[in-house]
């Protein structure tokens, strides 16, 4: 990558441009093999110099993304939002947040992405709106018993004066999942009116009532709005939370972490069976488009079996595979996760996806930099106190990338992982913005450490994230050490992370064995993963053994690190091999 790859902003087209055509095979099934780049808009590229990423910034880096070799981009919410939860509190689902750009810029970016053979996936947030959404403001103003309140979950409190929350549900960000009217952060002035409202996340994110027909109709309208503008699909935020048990019963028992705990098949607000009916109607809607639009579910559910229910043939197309993300760097755990994933996806005919990091979890370089135990982890809070060996974490992350990109199905790359970036663990308290920090009473530093703006070029912050001479600093400070990890620095180094990702993504696209399909495991010693894919491809990952010889007759296509002088595969290294006759 060189700076000259940044495309100059061009004229604003009036149409969304046609969706890219897939190379070989069924173009409508592009999503079965796709590698999708997660673009966290706030932190990707800032073109207007305010320290916050924007749509024009995305557009200026499309060339970088197509050179990288990904098939699509998924953009985190770009809608108008008071940003109580970094855009996951939406106040208007059919517009673009002014700090990110305009509708015209969005249209131009979508059209240009399509011309660069990149599909565009947006993020829909159906569980909750912002408390500034006109519906919630109307509900507050209209008062108890009004029709306006029925689109949300308002209830009277418990206790003699209704001074206790209506049930024992907890917010994912800490504390009760209920706020009493009058105690909310914004809205008409006035004291409590006897009602509380549900928010599984921050108080600024009131939960919608999905039994209300207007809620259903309005979201379908939003899907159509963006599909009509050329958007190729949606990532569905907390797809497993929309439906709540009638009567909103107590959960009882000890509070549990939503992302790590089992919640079974009759939890009052997670993964309820009734949610599937909503996705059947979304699928029917997406199928009316040509080419059909696609969905990926964010669903933190108990098991691959429960996840597979979201991707039955008449429901969503794919779902994030968080079991893989959470698996420790241990051969037995990875093998087990891969096998269960493949089995459960095959049972419903859906392609698996593989993912190592996203904007909600500690970057995997930093997770792999710690001693690996049987326990799945995702957050920094779970890792704190354990010393980090970042060099080891990066070595493992390189091997993990080759493993992930060799597995059957699609994959997600979280921005910056292609540069080998690590979690920024020493952000000053004063800059933390994740609501988790406040809601946990400063016990959990939250997710800001994986959201630090990308380093593109140069030797000092803002590392090309913002234009030269910008008055504003990046919204989170970048570590000085990222001077050696910028896209430009790495593009010039054939041994860099970026070169490895590019090479892997381009080989993956060209190799007939990779992408959708299946794999066959070969016998291997403990600590090693070894599988073949036809025609003529093998992947060997040495997770924790001493150096192991490569299979006889195999030719190295790509290695995550140098082989030993004897030509053996060292620990924490992966290779892609062409087998005899290939
Ligand atoms: C999941 C999103 O990925 C996360 O960032 C957000 O805080 C919650 N959903 C609430 O919308």
pLDDT digits (tens, 9 = 90+) for 170-179: 999 989 999 9
565 CB-contact burial (10 Å; exposed 0-12 / middle 13-18 / buried 19+)? exposed
Please state, as a whole number, how many other Cβ atoms lie within 10 Å of the Cβ of residue 221. Answer: 11
Distance CA 395, CA 369 (A): 9
Q: In this structure, what token pair is assigned to residue 171?
A: 């917010």
Q: What is the pLDDT of residue 491?
A: 97
Q: Give pLDDT, residue 15.
A: 52
Q: How many helices (H) and strands (E) does the chain have?
A: 14, 16
Indicate whether 40 pLDDT > 80.
yes
pLDDT value for 352: 98
Query: Which pLDDT score, from 0 to 100, does residue 332 have?
Result: 96
Q: Write down the pLDDT at residue 260.
A: 52
Structural element, H or E, at residue 397:
helix 390-406
Contacts of 575 (CB under 8 A, 6+ apart): 402, 539, 540, 550, 556, 557, 558, 559, 560, 563, 569
DSSP strand pairing (178-180 vs 195-198): antiparallel
pLDDT digits (tens, 9 = 90+) for 388-443: 999 999 999 999 999 999 999 999 999 999 999 999 999 999 999 999 999 889 99
pLDDT tens readout for residues 500-544: 999 999 999 999 999 999 999 999 999 999 999 999 999 999 999
Residue among 40, 82, 85 whose CB has most ligand 1 atoms within 8 A, to mutate: 85
* C-alpha–C-alpha distance, residues 408 and 28, integer Å: 18
Average pLDDT over residues 372-376: 85
Give yes or no for residue 9 having a pLDDT over 50: no
Token pair in block for residue 324? 């893989």
**pLDDT band with cut points at 50, 70 and 90 for residue 231:** very high
Lookup: tokens for 445: 């530093």
Distance 211 CA to ligand 1 centre (A): 22
pLDDT at 551 over 70: yes
**pLDDT value at residue 466:** 98
> Which residue's CA is the closest to the ligand 1 atom numbered 5?
360
Question: Mean pLDDT, to the nearest integer, of 234-260?
Answer: 86
Average pLDDT, the chain: 92
Residue 285 tokens, joined: 């809607």
Alpha-carbon distance of 171 to 1, in angstroms, equals 43
Q: What is residue 7's predicted lDDT score, i.e. its pLDDT? A: 34
Could you read off the pLDDT of 442-451 as tens digits, one per residue? 999 999 999 9
CA 238 / ligand 1 centre spacing (Å): 7
Per-residue pLDDT at 1 = 30
Q: Does 218 have pLDDT greater than 70?
A: yes
Give the pair of three-digit tokens for residue 268.
């009052």
Which residue's alpha carbon is at the smallest distance from atom 4 of ligand 1? 360
Cα–ligand 1 centroid distance for 318 (angstroms): 18
- Per residue in 491-508, pLDDT tens? 999 999 999 999 999 999
Pocket, ligand 1, Cβ cutoff 6 A: 85, 88, 125, 201, 237-238, 298, 359-360
Query: Over the stretch 101-136, which tens digit does the pLDDT of each residue have?
Result: 999 999 999 999 999 999 999 999 999 999 999 999
Tokens of 295: 């969905």
Q: Specify the residue with its C-alpha closest to ligand 1, atom 3.
A: 360
Residues 6+ apart with CB under 8 A from 8: none
* CA dist., res. 42 & res. 46, Å (int): 8
Please report the beta strands in 434-568, taking only residues with DSSP state E, as ranges in sequence order: 520-521, 528-533, 537-542, 555-559
144 CA distance to ligand 1 middle (Å): 29
User: How many angstroms from the chain centroid is the CA of residue 148?
Assistant: 33
- Give the confidence band of 313 by pLDDT, cuts at 50, 70, 90: very high
Q: What is the mean pLDDT of residues 13-38?
A: 71
Would the pLDDT of 267 be above 60?
yes
- For residue 196, what is the enclosing H or E element? strand 195-198
Distance of CA 560 to CAs 396, 405, 486, Å?
A: 9, 12, 19
| Burial (CB count <10 Å: 0-12, 13-18, 19+), residue 179 | buried
288 burial level (CB within 10 Å; 0-12, 13-18, 19+): exposed
| Ligand 1 center from residue 85 Cα (angstroms) | 8
Half-sphere exposure of 521 (CA within 13 A, CB side): 12
Mean pLDDT across 341-364:
97
Q: Quick one: which of 499, 354, 444 has its CA closest to 174?
A: 444
* pLDDT for residue 383 is more than 80: no
Q: Which residues contact 354 (CB under 8 A, 6 or more apart)?
A: 321, 324, 404, 405, 407, 409, 410, 411, 412
Distance (Å, whole) CA 100 – CA 105: 9
State in Å: Cα 180 to ligand 1 middle: 22
> What pLDDT, on the 0 to 100 scale, is given for residue 193?
84
Residue 385 has pLDDT above 90, yes or no: no
- Three-class SS string for 107-164? HHHHHHHHHCCCEEEEEECCCECCCCCHHHHHHHHHCCCCHHHHHECEEECECCCCCE
Query: What is the residue-wise DSSP string for 421-451?
Result: ----TT--GGG---HHHHHTTSS--TTGGG-
The answer to whether 392 and 363 have CB atoms below 8 angstroms apart is no
Give 410-422 as a DSSP string.
EEEEETTGGGT--
Residue 33 in this model has a pLDDT that exceeds 50: yes
pTM of the full predicted structure?
0.94
User: What tokens were used for 311?
Assistant: 């991707």
Which pLDDT band holds residue 256 (cuts at 50, 70, 90)? low
């Amino acid at each position: 990558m060189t700076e000259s790859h940044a495309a100059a902003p061009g004229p604003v087209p009036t149409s969304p441009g046609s969706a890219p055509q897939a190379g070989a095979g069924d173009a409508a099934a592009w999503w079965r093999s796709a590698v999708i780049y997660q673009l966290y808009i706030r932190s990707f590229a800032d073109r207007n110099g305010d320290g916050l990423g924007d749509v024009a910034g995305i557009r200026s880096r499309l060339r970088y993304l197509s050179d990288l070799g990904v098939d699509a981009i998924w953009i985190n919410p770009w809608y108008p939002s008071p940003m109580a939860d970094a855009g996951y509190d939406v106040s208007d689902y059919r517009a673009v947040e002014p700090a990110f750009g305009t509708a015209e810029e969005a249209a131009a970016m979508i059209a240009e992405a399509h011309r660069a053979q990149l599909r565009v996936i947006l993020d829909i947030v159906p569980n909750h709106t912002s408390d500034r959404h006109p519906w919630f403001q109307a509900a507050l103003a209209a008062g108890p018993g009004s029709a306006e309140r029925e689109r949300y979950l308002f209830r009277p409190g418990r206790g003699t004066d209704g001074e206790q929350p209506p049930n024992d549900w907890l917010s994912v960000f800490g504390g009760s999942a209920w706020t009493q009217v009058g105690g909310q952060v914004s809205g008409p002035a006035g004291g409590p009116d006897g009602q509380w409202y549900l928010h599984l996340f921050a108080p600024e994110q009131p939960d919608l009532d999905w039994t209300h027909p207007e809620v259903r109709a309005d979201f379908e309208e939003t899907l159509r709005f963006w599909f009509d503008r050329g958007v190729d699909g949606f990532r569905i935020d907390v797809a497993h939370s929309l439906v709540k048990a009638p009567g909103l019963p107590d959960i009882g028992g000890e509070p549990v972490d939503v992302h790590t705990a089992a919640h079974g098949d009759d939890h009052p607000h997670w993964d309820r069976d009734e949610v599937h009916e909503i996705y059947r109607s979304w699928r029917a809607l997406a199928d009316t488009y040509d080419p059909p639009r696609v969905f990926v579910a964010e669903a933190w559910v108990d098991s691959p079996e429960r996840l597979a229910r979201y991707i039955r043939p008449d429901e969503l197309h794919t779902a994030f595979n968080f079991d893989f993300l959470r698996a420790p760097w241990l051969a037995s755990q990875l093998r087990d996760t891969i096998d269960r994933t493949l089995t459960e996806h095959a049972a419903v005919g859906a392609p698996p996806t593989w993912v190592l990091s996203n904007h909600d979890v500690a970057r995997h370089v930093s997770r792999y930099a710690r001693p690996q135990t049987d326990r799945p982890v995702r957050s920094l809070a779970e890792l704190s106190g354990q010393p980090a060996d970042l060099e080891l974490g990066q070595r493992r992350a390189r091997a993990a990338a080759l493993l992930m990109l060799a597995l059957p199905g699609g994959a997600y790359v979280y921005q910056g992982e292609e540069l080998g970036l690590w979690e920024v663990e020493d952000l000053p308290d004063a800059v933390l913005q994740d609501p988790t920090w406040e809601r946990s009473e400063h016990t959990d530093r939250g997710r800001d450490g994986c959201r630090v703006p990308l380093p593109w070029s140069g030797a000092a912050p803002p590392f090309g994230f913002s234009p030269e001479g910008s008055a504003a600093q990046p919204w989170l400070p970048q570590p000085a050490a990222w001077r050696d990890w910028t896209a430009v620095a790495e593009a010039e180094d054939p041994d860099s992370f970026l070169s490895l990702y590019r090479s892997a993504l381009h080989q993956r696209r060209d190799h007939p064995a990779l992408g959708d399909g299946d794999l066959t495991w070969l016998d291997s010693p403990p600590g090693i993963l070894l599988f073949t894919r036809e025609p003529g491809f093998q992947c060997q990952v040495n997770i924790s053994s001493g150096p192991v010889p490569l299979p006889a007759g195999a030719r190295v296509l790509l290695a995550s690190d140098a082989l030993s002088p004897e030509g053996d595969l060292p620990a924490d290294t992966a290779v892609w091999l062409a087998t005899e006759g290939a």
